Amino acid sequence: MIKTIVFAVFAAGLAAALILFPTPVLTASLRGLDLWWEVVFPSLLPFFITAELLIGFGVVHGLGAVSERIMRPLFNVPGCGGFVWVMGMASGYPAGARWTTDLYKNGQLTRTEAERLVAFTNASSPLFIFGAVAVGFFHDARLGILIALAHYGGSFLIGIMMRFYKSNERSHIRDHNSSSLKEAFWIMHHSRIKDGRTLGKLLGDAVTKSVDTLLMVGGFIMMFSVLTELLKQTGLIHLFTHVLALTGLPEGFHVPLTAGLLELTTGIGAVTQSHEALLAQLVAVSFILGFHGFSIQAQIASILAETDIRFLPYALARCAHAVIAAFLIYLLYFLYQPFQTSTIPSWNPARSDPFSILAFFQQYGPPVTMGAILLMIFIRWRARPRN
Protein backbone atom coordinates (compact mmCIF):
# COMPACT_ATOMS: atom_id res chain seq x y z
CA MET A 1 0.00 0.00 0.00
CA ILE A 2 2.75 2.45 1.00
CA LYS A 3 4.79 1.53 -2.08
CA THR A 4 1.79 2.23 -4.31
CA ILE A 5 1.30 5.66 -2.72
CA VAL A 6 5.00 6.51 -3.10
CA PHE A 7 5.02 5.50 -6.76
CA ALA A 8 1.82 7.42 -7.44
CA VAL A 9 3.17 10.58 -5.77
CA PHE A 10 6.43 10.29 -7.70
CA ALA A 11 4.62 9.89 -11.03
CA ALA A 12 2.29 12.81 -10.28
CA GLY A 13 5.21 15.01 -9.21
CA LEU A 14 7.14 14.10 -12.35
CA ALA A 15 4.17 14.95 -14.54
CA ALA A 16 3.74 18.31 -12.79
CA ALA A 17 7.45 19.12 -13.19
CA LEU A 18 7.30 18.30 -16.90
CA ILE A 19 4.44 20.79 -17.28
CA LEU A 20 6.12 23.52 -15.20
CA PHE A 21 9.52 23.32 -16.93
CA PRO A 22 8.79 22.45 -20.59
CA THR A 23 11.79 24.24 -22.14
CA PRO A 24 14.54 22.77 -19.89
CA VAL A 25 12.89 19.34 -20.20
CA LEU A 26 12.92 19.53 -23.99
CA THR A 27 16.56 20.66 -24.01
CA ALA A 28 17.61 17.83 -21.68
CA SER A 29 15.65 15.27 -23.66
CA LEU A 30 17.26 16.39 -26.93
CA ARG A 31 20.69 16.27 -25.26
CA GLY A 32 20.10 12.66 -24.28
CA LEU A 33 18.73 11.86 -27.74
CA ASP A 34 21.82 13.34 -29.41
CA LEU A 35 24.10 11.19 -27.26
CA TRP A 36 22.16 8.03 -28.11
CA TRP A 37 21.56 8.92 -31.78
CA GLU A 38 25.12 9.95 -32.63
CA VAL A 39 27.34 7.75 -30.48
CA VAL A 40 25.68 5.09 -28.29
CA PHE A 41 23.56 3.34 -30.93
CA PRO A 42 26.07 3.17 -33.81
CA SER A 43 28.99 2.27 -31.53
CA LEU A 44 27.17 -0.56 -29.72
CA LEU A 45 25.10 -2.01 -32.57
CA PRO A 46 27.97 -3.84 -34.35
CA PHE A 47 29.06 -5.45 -31.05
CA PHE A 48 25.52 -6.54 -30.23
CA ILE A 49 24.86 -8.07 -33.65
CA THR A 50 28.27 -9.78 -33.75
CA ALA A 51 27.76 -11.23 -30.27
CA GLU A 52 24.34 -12.61 -31.25
CA LEU A 53 25.91 -14.28 -34.30
CA LEU A 54 28.76 -15.73 -32.22
CA ILE A 55 26.26 -17.19 -29.76
CA GLY A 56 24.06 -18.57 -32.56
CA PHE A 57 27.00 -20.16 -34.41
CA GLY A 58 28.22 -21.83 -31.22
CA VAL A 59 31.50 -19.89 -31.11
CA VAL A 60 30.87 -18.83 -27.52
CA HIS A 61 30.44 -22.46 -26.49
CA GLY A 62 33.72 -23.36 -28.16
CA LEU A 63 35.59 -20.46 -26.58
CA GLY A 64 34.13 -21.45 -23.24
CA ALA A 65 35.76 -24.87 -23.47
CA VAL A 66 39.14 -23.25 -24.17
CA SER A 67 38.95 -20.56 -21.46
CA GLU A 68 37.49 -22.80 -18.73
CA ARG A 69 40.87 -23.22 -17.07
CA ILE A 70 41.20 -19.44 -16.72
CA MET A 71 37.70 -18.31 -15.80
CA ARG A 72 36.89 -21.01 -13.24
CA PRO A 73 39.96 -20.51 -10.99
CA LEU A 74 39.91 -16.71 -11.27
CA PHE A 75 36.22 -15.85 -11.13
CA ASN A 76 34.44 -19.15 -10.37
CA VAL A 77 32.34 -18.94 -13.54
CA PRO A 78 32.26 -21.21 -16.62
CA GLY A 79 34.60 -20.56 -19.53
CA CYS A 80 31.85 -18.89 -21.59
CA GLY A 81 32.11 -16.00 -19.14
CA GLY A 82 35.40 -15.09 -20.79
CA PHE A 83 33.49 -14.03 -23.90
CA VAL A 84 31.20 -11.78 -21.83
CA TRP A 85 34.15 -10.31 -19.93
CA VAL A 86 36.16 -9.35 -23.01
CA MET A 87 33.21 -8.20 -25.15
CA GLY A 88 31.70 -6.32 -22.22
CA MET A 89 34.90 -4.28 -21.77
CA ALA A 90 35.27 -3.68 -25.52
CA SER A 91 31.71 -2.51 -26.19
CA GLY A 92 30.72 -0.88 -22.89
CA TYR A 93 27.66 -1.17 -20.67
CA PRO A 94 25.03 -2.61 -20.66
CA ALA A 95 26.46 -5.25 -23.02
CA GLY A 96 27.76 -7.52 -20.26
CA ALA A 97 24.29 -7.80 -18.71
CA ARG A 98 22.69 -8.54 -22.08
CA TRP A 99 25.00 -11.44 -22.86
CA THR A 100 24.98 -12.76 -19.31
CA THR A 101 21.19 -13.10 -19.43
CA ASP A 102 21.43 -14.75 -22.86
CA LEU A 103 23.89 -17.36 -21.58
CA TYR A 104 21.74 -17.91 -18.48
CA LYS A 105 18.64 -18.46 -20.61
CA ASN A 106 20.60 -20.95 -22.73
CA GLY A 107 21.53 -22.95 -19.63
CA GLN A 108 25.24 -22.14 -19.73
CA LEU A 109 25.24 -20.39 -16.35
CA THR A 110 23.54 -21.00 -13.03
CA ARG A 111 21.80 -18.06 -11.40
CA THR A 112 24.64 -17.58 -8.91
CA GLU A 113 27.25 -17.70 -11.70
CA ALA A 114 25.24 -15.16 -13.69
CA GLU A 115 25.14 -12.86 -10.65
CA ARG A 116 28.91 -13.18 -10.27
CA LEU A 117 29.48 -12.53 -13.96
CA VAL A 118 27.22 -9.50 -14.35
CA ALA A 119 28.93 -7.86 -11.36
CA PHE A 120 32.28 -7.38 -13.16
CA THR A 121 31.61 -7.60 -16.91
CA ASN A 122 29.80 -4.27 -17.31
CA ALA A 123 32.41 -1.61 -17.89
CA SER A 124 32.89 1.61 -19.81
CA SER A 125 34.21 1.13 -23.34
CA PRO A 126 37.74 2.25 -24.35
CA LEU A 127 36.10 4.57 -26.90
CA PHE A 128 34.34 6.46 -24.11
CA ILE A 129 37.29 6.50 -21.70
CA PHE A 130 39.94 7.61 -24.20
CA GLY A 131 37.80 9.64 -26.61
CA ALA A 132 35.12 11.29 -24.49
CA VAL A 133 36.65 11.42 -21.01
CA ALA A 134 40.42 11.79 -21.54
CA VAL A 135 40.45 13.87 -24.73
CA GLY A 136 36.97 15.41 -24.72
CA PHE A 137 36.72 16.39 -21.05
CA PHE A 138 40.29 16.46 -19.69
CA HIS A 139 41.98 17.49 -22.98
CA ASP A 140 44.86 15.10 -22.22
CA ALA A 141 44.95 11.76 -24.04
CA ARG A 142 47.59 10.38 -21.67
CA LEU A 143 45.11 10.47 -18.79
CA GLY A 144 43.07 7.86 -20.64
CA ILE A 145 45.67 5.23 -19.72
CA LEU A 146 45.38 6.09 -16.02
CA ILE A 147 41.59 6.10 -16.06
CA ALA A 148 41.42 2.84 -18.04
CA LEU A 149 43.90 1.05 -15.74
CA ALA A 150 41.94 2.11 -12.66
CA HIS A 151 38.56 1.28 -14.22
CA TYR A 152 39.41 -2.12 -15.71
CA GLY A 153 41.68 -2.99 -12.80
CA GLY A 154 38.77 -2.31 -10.49
CA SER A 155 36.53 -4.58 -12.58
CA PHE A 156 39.13 -7.35 -12.37
CA LEU A 157 39.37 -7.05 -8.59
CA ILE A 158 35.57 -7.08 -8.29
CA GLY A 159 35.57 -10.32 -10.31
CA ILE A 160 38.11 -11.84 -7.91
CA MET A 161 36.00 -10.76 -4.94
CA MET A 162 32.77 -12.09 -6.47
CA ARG A 163 34.27 -15.58 -6.90
CA PHE A 164 33.64 -16.00 -3.15
CA TYR A 165 29.96 -15.02 -3.51
CA LYS A 166 28.04 -18.18 -2.51
CA SER A 167 31.23 -20.16 -3.10
CA ASN A 168 29.83 -23.20 -1.28
CA GLU A 169 27.09 -23.55 -3.90
CA ARG A 170 27.69 -26.39 -6.34
CA SER A 171 27.35 -25.70 -10.06
CA HIS A 172 25.40 -28.15 -12.21
CA ILE A 173 27.11 -26.82 -15.35
CA ARG A 174 29.61 -29.36 -16.65
CA ASP A 175 33.11 -27.94 -16.84
CA HIS A 176 35.22 -28.55 -19.93
CA ASN A 177 38.53 -29.38 -18.29
CA SER A 178 40.31 -29.93 -21.59
CA SER A 179 41.55 -26.97 -23.60
CA SER A 180 41.87 -29.08 -26.76
CA LEU A 181 41.00 -27.12 -29.91
CA LYS A 182 39.52 -30.27 -31.42
CA GLU A 183 37.09 -30.64 -28.51
CA ALA A 184 36.27 -26.92 -28.71
CA PHE A 185 35.37 -27.23 -32.40
CA TRP A 186 33.15 -30.23 -31.69
CA ILE A 187 31.36 -28.34 -28.93
CA MET A 188 30.91 -25.37 -31.28
CA HIS A 189 29.52 -27.61 -34.03
CA HIS A 190 27.02 -29.36 -31.77
CA SER A 191 25.90 -26.04 -30.31
CA ARG A 192 25.20 -24.65 -33.79
CA ILE A 193 23.24 -27.78 -34.74
CA LYS A 194 21.26 -27.57 -31.49
CA ASP A 195 20.41 -23.92 -32.20
CA GLY A 196 18.92 -24.94 -35.54
CA ARG A 197 18.33 -21.47 -37.01
CA THR A 198 19.20 -20.74 -40.61
CA LEU A 199 21.66 -17.96 -41.46
CA GLY A 200 18.83 -15.64 -42.57
CA LYS A 201 16.82 -16.28 -39.43
CA LEU A 202 19.87 -15.78 -37.23
CA LEU A 203 20.76 -12.47 -38.92
CA GLY A 204 17.19 -11.23 -38.59
CA ASP A 205 17.01 -12.19 -34.92
CA ALA A 206 20.40 -10.58 -34.24
CA VAL A 207 19.33 -7.26 -35.78
CA THR A 208 15.89 -7.08 -34.16
CA LYS A 209 17.10 -8.17 -30.71
CA SER A 210 20.03 -5.73 -30.79
CA VAL A 211 17.89 -2.79 -31.90
CA ASP A 212 15.26 -3.61 -29.25
CA THR A 213 17.91 -3.50 -26.53
CA LEU A 214 19.41 -0.24 -27.81
CA LEU A 215 15.98 1.41 -28.04
CA MET A 216 15.52 0.58 -24.38
CA VAL A 217 18.97 2.05 -23.62
CA GLY A 218 18.04 5.24 -25.48
CA GLY A 219 14.87 5.61 -23.47
CA PHE A 220 16.77 5.38 -20.18
CA ILE A 221 19.41 7.87 -21.34
CA MET A 222 16.74 10.44 -22.24
CA MET A 223 14.71 9.81 -19.08
CA PHE A 224 17.64 10.27 -16.70
CA SER A 225 18.85 13.31 -18.64
CA VAL A 226 15.44 14.85 -18.00
CA LEU A 227 15.39 13.77 -14.33
CA THR A 228 18.80 15.35 -13.73
CA GLU A 229 17.65 18.61 -15.29
CA LEU A 230 14.41 18.61 -13.27
CA LEU A 231 16.38 18.14 -10.03
CA LYS A 232 18.42 21.22 -10.95
CA GLN A 233 15.38 23.27 -11.93
CA THR A 234 13.38 22.42 -8.80
CA GLY A 235 16.38 22.79 -6.47
CA LEU A 236 15.93 19.25 -5.15
CA ILE A 237 19.50 18.46 -6.18
CA HIS A 238 20.67 20.49 -3.19
CA LEU A 239 19.11 17.91 -0.87
CA PHE A 240 21.66 15.42 -2.17
CA THR A 241 24.50 17.93 -2.02
CA HIS A 242 23.80 18.50 1.67
CA VAL A 243 24.38 14.79 2.25
CA LEU A 244 27.67 14.93 0.31
CA ALA A 245 28.71 17.92 2.38
CA LEU A 246 28.79 15.62 5.43
CA THR A 247 31.52 13.53 3.76
CA GLY A 248 34.00 16.42 3.73
CA LEU A 249 34.28 16.48 -0.05
CA PRO A 250 35.21 19.82 -1.70
CA GLU A 251 32.13 21.97 -2.23
CA GLY A 252 32.83 22.22 -5.95
CA PHE A 253 32.15 18.47 -6.29
CA HIS A 254 28.76 18.36 -4.55
CA VAL A 255 26.56 19.11 -7.57
CA PRO A 256 28.77 17.32 -10.16
CA LEU A 257 28.93 14.12 -8.09
CA THR A 258 25.18 14.19 -7.52
CA ALA A 259 24.65 14.55 -11.27
CA GLY A 260 27.18 11.77 -11.89
CA LEU A 261 25.36 9.38 -9.56
CA LEU A 262 22.29 9.89 -11.77
CA GLU A 263 23.92 9.98 -15.22
CA LEU A 264 27.67 9.54 -15.55
CA THR A 265 28.33 11.57 -18.72
CA THR A 266 26.70 14.69 -17.26
CA GLY A 267 28.51 14.23 -13.96
CA ILE A 268 31.94 13.68 -15.53
CA GLY A 269 31.52 16.81 -17.64
CA ALA A 270 30.60 18.84 -14.55
CA VAL A 271 33.54 17.44 -12.53
CA THR A 272 36.09 18.37 -15.21
CA GLN A 273 34.65 21.91 -15.40
CA SER A 274 35.19 22.45 -11.68
CA HIS A 275 38.19 24.35 -10.33
CA GLU A 276 39.41 21.54 -8.11
CA ALA A 277 42.88 19.97 -8.42
CA LEU A 278 43.50 17.48 -11.26
CA LEU A 279 44.03 14.58 -8.87
CA ALA A 280 40.73 15.30 -7.12
CA GLN A 281 38.96 15.43 -10.50
CA LEU A 282 40.49 12.09 -11.56
CA VAL A 283 39.43 10.43 -8.31
CA ALA A 284 35.87 11.76 -8.68
CA VAL A 285 35.66 10.68 -12.34
CA SER A 286 36.92 7.17 -11.52
CA PHE A 287 34.36 6.93 -8.73
CA ILE A 288 31.54 7.91 -11.11
CA LEU A 289 32.72 5.48 -13.83
CA GLY A 290 32.87 2.63 -11.33
CA PHE A 291 29.44 3.41 -9.90
CA HIS A 292 27.95 3.60 -13.45
CA GLY A 293 25.21 6.03 -12.48
CA PHE A 294 21.59 5.14 -11.80
CA SER A 295 20.81 5.55 -15.51
CA ILE A 296 23.01 2.59 -16.48
CA GLN A 297 22.03 0.64 -13.38
CA ALA A 298 18.37 1.05 -14.40
CA GLN A 299 19.21 -0.25 -17.89
CA ILE A 300 20.89 -3.32 -16.42
CA ALA A 301 18.06 -3.85 -13.92
CA SER A 302 15.62 -3.82 -16.86
CA ILE A 303 17.67 -6.47 -18.69
CA LEU A 304 18.05 -8.67 -15.60
CA ALA A 305 14.29 -8.40 -14.96
CA GLU A 306 13.78 -10.75 -17.94
CA THR A 307 15.16 -13.52 -15.68
CA ASP A 308 15.36 -14.33 -11.98
CA ILE A 309 18.93 -13.01 -11.76
CA ARG A 310 19.06 -10.76 -8.70
CA PHE A 311 20.06 -7.11 -9.07
CA LEU A 312 21.41 -6.62 -5.52
CA PRO A 313 24.83 -8.32 -6.05
CA TYR A 314 25.44 -6.10 -9.08
CA ALA A 315 24.40 -2.96 -7.16
CA LEU A 316 26.72 -3.77 -4.23
CA ALA A 317 29.55 -4.50 -6.66
CA ARG A 318 29.08 -1.03 -8.18
CA CYS A 319 29.65 0.62 -4.81
CA ALA A 320 32.78 -1.46 -4.29
CA HIS A 321 34.02 -0.79 -7.84
CA ALA A 322 33.59 2.96 -7.36
CA VAL A 323 35.72 2.97 -4.19
CA ILE A 324 38.39 0.63 -5.61
CA ALA A 325 38.73 2.56 -8.89
CA ALA A 326 39.04 5.86 -7.01
CA PHE A 327 41.76 4.38 -4.79
CA LEU A 328 43.64 2.86 -7.76
CA ILE A 329 43.76 6.10 -9.72
CA TYR A 330 45.02 7.90 -6.63
CA LEU A 331 47.98 5.50 -6.57
CA LEU A 332 48.52 5.54 -10.34
CA TYR A 333 48.54 9.32 -10.49
CA PHE A 334 51.89 9.49 -8.73
CA LEU A 335 53.36 7.22 -11.42
CA TYR A 336 51.92 9.55 -14.06
CA GLN A 337 53.36 12.77 -12.61
CA PRO A 338 56.94 12.37 -13.95
CA PHE A 339 55.55 12.19 -17.50
CA GLN A 340 53.36 15.27 -17.08
CA THR A 341 55.58 17.63 -19.09
CA SER A 342 53.15 19.05 -21.62
CA THR A 343 49.49 19.52 -22.28
CA ILE A 344 47.28 18.74 -25.24
CA PRO A 345 45.16 21.55 -26.74
CA SER A 346 41.43 21.69 -26.10
CA TRP A 347 39.50 19.20 -28.15
CA ASN A 348 36.58 20.41 -30.25
CA PRO A 349 34.62 17.88 -32.36
CA ALA A 350 34.00 20.53 -35.00
CA ARG A 351 37.74 21.09 -35.51
CA SER A 352 38.99 17.59 -34.83
CA ASP A 353 40.57 15.21 -37.28
CA PRO A 354 37.77 14.00 -39.61
CA PHE A 355 39.12 10.47 -39.30
CA SER A 356 38.90 10.41 -35.50
CA ILE A 357 36.48 7.91 -34.05
CA LEU A 358 34.20 10.37 -32.29
CA ALA A 359 34.04 12.69 -35.28
CA PHE A 360 33.14 9.69 -37.42
CA PHE A 361 30.26 8.73 -35.15
CA GLN A 362 28.98 12.30 -34.97
CA GLN A 363 28.94 12.50 -38.77
CA TYR A 364 27.69 9.04 -39.68
CA GLY A 365 25.99 7.88 -36.48
CA PRO A 366 22.49 9.26 -37.18
CA PRO A 367 22.09 7.61 -40.63
CA VAL A 368 23.40 4.32 -39.21
CA THR A 369 20.87 4.54 -36.38
CA MET A 370 17.95 5.30 -38.67
CA GLY A 371 19.01 2.62 -41.15
CA ALA A 372 19.18 -0.04 -38.45
CA ILE A 373 15.75 0.89 -37.08
CA LEU A 374 14.20 0.78 -40.56
CA LEU A 375 15.88 -2.59 -41.18
CA MET A 376 14.40 -3.97 -37.96
CA ILE A 377 10.93 -2.74 -38.97
CA PHE A 378 11.33 -4.35 -42.40
CA ILE A 379 12.46 -7.70 -40.91
CA ARG A 380 9.53 -7.80 -38.52
CA TRP A 381 7.13 -6.85 -41.30
CA ARG A 382 8.44 -9.75 -43.43
CA ALA A 383 8.25 -12.13 -40.45
CA ARG A 384 4.66 -11.25 -39.54
CA PRO A 385 2.17 -14.12 -39.74
CA ARG A 386 0.25 -14.15 -43.01
CA ASN A 387 -3.39 -15.16 -43.27
pLDDT, averaged across the chain: 79
What is the per-residue pLDDT across 274-286, written as a single tens digit (0 to 9) for each?
878 888 899 999 9
Asked whether the whole model's pTM tops 0.85, one would answer no
Reduce the DSSP state of residue 158 to 3 states and report it: helix
Q: How confident is the model at residue 209 (pLDDT cuts 50, 70, 90)?
A: confident
What is the per-residue pLDDT across 46-68, written as a single tens digit (0 to 9) for each?
877 887 787 777 777 676 667 77
Q: Is 343 left (phi over 0), alpha (psi -120 to 50) or beta?
A: beta
Find the helix packing angle between 41-56 and 199-234, rounded to 10°: 140
d(CA 142, CA 278): 13
What is the per-residue pLDDT across 325-377, written as a single tens digit (0 to 9) for each?
999 999 998 876 655 544 434 434 444 443 455 566 656 666 767 666 777 67
Q: How much is the pLDDT for 88? A: 83
Give the Cβ contact number of residue 140 at 10 Å: 18
Rg of the chain's alpha carbons, rounded to an integer? 22
Q: How much is the pLDDT for 350? A: 40
